[in-house]
Amino acid sequence: MSVVKSRSETEALLKKNKVYYENCPGCKVDYRKDTQTGIPYKEFFFVWIVVLGTALPISSLFPFLYFMIRDFHIAKRVEDIGYYAGYVGSAYMFGRALTSYFWGVFADRYGRKPVIVFGTMIVLIFNTLFGLSTNFWMAISMRFLLGCLNGLLGPIKAYAIEVCRHDHQALALSLISTAWGVGLVIGPALGGFLAQPAEKYPNLFPQGSLFARFPYLLPCLCISAFSAIVLVVCCWLPETLHKHAGSNEESYGNDEKDIMQDTDGTGSDSNESLFKNWPLMSSIIVYCVFSLHDMAYTEIFSLWAVSPKQYGGLSFTTENVGEILSISGFGLLLFQLTIYPTVERILGHLTVSRISAVLAILLLSCYPSIAQLSGLSLTIVLNCASILKNVFSLSIITGLFILQNNAVSQHQRGAANGISMTGMSLFKAFGPAGGGALFSWGQSRRNASFLPGSEMVFVVLNMVEVVGLLMTFKPFLALPQQRG
């Protein structure tokens, strides 16, 4: 099938100094973007569902991790459960940190789609095996391998930028943030509702059944089933990487042999070192700081919610946590699809990120007081706080996504996002471990005179957020030049 359908279209596009190769998938996507100015709803849906599928298992374990570690009988004291929970929570991120750059380079060389398909398969396999874990070391191993072998998050960000026109890129990355945020709250919601089903739903899952023997398999199995659906959807993903084979004479418009297109039209140097690109590296570093904060918060929130009141917690069940996170996910989805695009267009993505960071600091300062509430007032306030915290976090991350991807051109986006994922994964790996240790330390000093228990925990979280906020200003953060 010919890519250019008429000579008039060919001439119009040649005026833009563009050449299209008939058998190049990237050229086909570029041609569609140049001839169809509307929002690519189908491609955006594919991106959204792929990101959701890979985000669901990342934090789905947090509501039941406390009980899983308890059932492994590896912690000698109740206060030590947080330490071991942190190690399991960190294993995924350590694994991802080791291989993210490799997957980004692979995607730049061989295409985005192979990495996306393989990563989805890995979620299906190793998330199921994690649900079948019978001891602490098996649980850590499965999470580590899941992180190592699933490298699609960096390439999918590059993909989202490349599959749409420039004026839709903010929406594309906002959709990624939305899917990611929804996954990070719906995943724990599934974990909260579906963990230990033989205890919660004995009529459906009687004692002696598979799910009684493996009480944490059901949420993992449901997420893996969704990944199987995503794997089928991946068949319709168009590749965006340019794969020019042959000389200029094989391209459309070969009468204009002196016209050769940079794949992005940016004219950037293909040998430019990403590590010398300060707009890219500074935005990645800021992103890493906020990622550390978000992962530590996710770990601490779930541990804080399910721990006993005498230890400063809320004495919630996994089902209670699941309800809160479900409501948060729905609120986050509404915000990102309705309010965020308008606010971002008026204020700009960086200003939105800064305002969100300030509001998040003020919100977290109120968390220790929330523990003093009870009954309906506790439920209402905690749900509102959880929605707002997730909204602020995703607004920050979306702005940083845009900065990173505008700092490089297409042939480097996979590697650039791989570097970003490596740094972010390292910081997020310390998030659960540090958060678990911080939480356990807070519980051990709940009778201290200065910032006892959870007060110290949330003060430390706020200190990290303040550091990230300060780094969004000059001279540290450099804004990228506009890229194609």
Between 127 and 1, the higher pLDDT residue: 127
- Say how many Å lie between the first and final Cα of the chain, rounded: 27
The rounded distance, in Å, linking the Cα atoms of 294 and 291 is 5
Share of the chain above pLDDT 90, in %: 17
Cβ(453)–Cβ(442) below 8 Å = yes
Judge whether residue 13 has pLDDT over 60. Answer: no
pLDDT value at position 264? 41
**Residue 244: pLDDT band by 50, 70, 90 thresholds?**
low
**Residue 17: pLDDT band by 50, 70, 90 thresholds?**
low
Between 264 and 279, the higher pLDDT residue: 279
The rounded distance, in Å, linking the Cα atoms of 173 and 398 is 6
Q: 251 pairs with which residues across the strands? A: 21
Between 452 and 86, the higher pLDDT residue: 86
Where do runs of H (alpha helix) occur along 237-374? Answer: 278-306, 318-334, 340-347, 349-364, 367-370
73 Cβ neighbours under 8 A, 6+ residues apart: none
pLDDT value at position 247? 39
**Residue 77: pLDDT band by 50, 70, 90 thresholds?**
confident
Q: Report the 10 Å Cβ neighbour count for 97.
A: 21
Share of the chain above pLDDT 70, in %: 87
Between 215 and 441, the higher pLDDT residue: 215
Amino acid 40 reads: P
Average pLDDT of the segment spanning 145-162: 86
Where do runs of H (alpha helix) occur along 76-152? Answer: 81-110, 112-131, 136-149
The rounded distance, in Å, linking the Cα atoms of 483 and 168 is 13
Cβ(251)–Cβ(158) below 8 Å = no
The rounded distance, in Å, linking the Cα atoms of 422 and 154 is 9
Between 258 and 39, the higher pLDDT residue: 39
The rounded distance, in Å, linking the Cα atoms of 149 and 351 is 35
pLDDT value at position 268? 41
DSSP labels for 22-90? TT-HHHHHHHHHHH--S--HHHHHHHHHHHHHHHHHHHTTHHHHHHHHHHHT--SSGGGHHHHHHHHHH
- What does the pLDDT look like over 388-433, one tens digit per residue? 998 898 889 888 888 887 788 767 777 887 888 888 778 877 776 7
**Residue 4: pLDDT band by 50, 70, 90 thresholds?**
very low
* Mean pLDDT for the chain overall: 79
Judge whether residue 130 has pLDDT over 90. Answer: yes
**Residue 141: pLDDT band by 50, 70, 90 thresholds?**
very high
**Residue 313: pLDDT band by 50, 70, 90 thresholds?**
confident
- What does the pLDDT look like over 440-457, one tens digit per residue? 777 676 666 677 667 777
pLDDT value at position 82? 72
Residue 239 per-residue DSSP state: P
The rounded distance, in Å, linking the Cα atoms of 233 and 241 is 19
pTM: 0.69
The rounded distance, in Å, linking the Cα atoms of 435 and 257 is 59
pLDDT value at position 366? 86
Tally the C-alpha atoms within 13 A of residue 390's C-alpha that lie toward its C-beta: 30
- What does the pLDDT look like over 317-367, one tens digit per residue? 777 877 887 788 778 778 877 888 788 888 888 899 999 999 999 998 888
Q: Kindly report whether the peptide bond that precedes residue 368 is cis, defined as omega within 30 degrees of 0.
A: no
pLDDT value at position 362? 93
pLDDT value at position 299? 75
